[in-house]
Amino acid sequence: MLEEYRYQTRCLVALDSIIFGFDGDELKLLLVRRGVEANRETWSLMGGWLQPGEGLGQAASRILYELTNLTNIYLEQLYTFGDPQRDPVERTVSIAYFALINVADYEQKISHTYDAHWFSLNQLDGLDLLFDHKAMIELAIEKLRYKASQHPIGFELLPEKFTIPQLQKLYEAIFATSFDKRNFSRKILSTSLLVKLKEKQKGYSKKGAFLYSVDTEKYQKQFNSFLNFIPNSFI
Helices 181-190, 164-175: axis angle to 10 degrees equals 110
Mean pLDDT of 51-56: 96
Specify the amino acid at residue 48: G
**Cβ pair 201, 192 in contact under 8 A:** no
197 φ/ψ angles, rounded to the nearest 5 degrees: -95, 165
Give the model's pLDDT for residue 2.
78
Whether 27 has a pLDDT exceeding 60, the answer reads yes
| Bridge partners, 87 (sequence order) | none
Confidence of residue 30 (pLDDT cuts 50, 70, 90): very high
**Is 195 within 8 Å of 217 (Cβ atoms)?**
no
Q: Say how far residue 60 (Cα) sits from the centre of its chain.
A: 13
Mean pLDDT of 213-228: 82
pLDDT tens track for 120-157 = 999 999 899 999 999 999 999 999 999 998 888 999 99
Residues 153-198 pLDDT 10s: 999 999 999 999 999 999 999 999 999 999 899 988 988 899 999 9
SS3 of 171-210: the string is HHHHHCCCCCHHHHHHHHHHCCCEEEEEEECCCCCCCCCE
Q: Over 60: is that where the pLDDT of 215 sits?
A: yes
State the pTM of this model: 0.89
d(CA 34, CA 40): 6
Give the C-alpha separation, 84 to 16, whole Å.
17
Render pLDDT for 193-212 as a digit per residue (tens, 0 to 9). Answer: 999 999 888 765 557 789 99
| Sign, Cα dihedral of 174, 177, 182, 186 | negative
- Residue-wise pLDDT for 3-12, tens only, equals 888 888 889 9
Rounded Cα distance, 210 and 202, in Å: 9
> Would you state the pLDDT for residue 143?
96
Query: What's the pLDDT score for residue 231?
Result: 53
Pairing type for strands 128-129 and 116-120 reads unpaired
Measure the CA–CA gap between 114 and 68, rounded to whole angstroms: 9
Whole-angstrom Cα Rg for the chain: 20
Residue 57 has pLDDT above 90, yes or no: yes
Q: Look at residues 170, 167, 169, 174 and name the one whose alpha carbon lies nearest to residue 188.
A: 167
Instruction: Tell me the pLDDT tens digit for each residue of 69-115.
Output: 888 889 999 999 999 999 999 999 999 999 999 888 777 666 666 77
d(CA 199, CA 2): 66
Domains along the chain? 11-150 (3.90.79.10), 154-234 (1.10.10.10)
What digits encode the pLDDT tens for the residues 31-44? 998 765 455 688 99
Distance in angstroms (rounded) separating the CA atoms of residues 42 and 206: 46
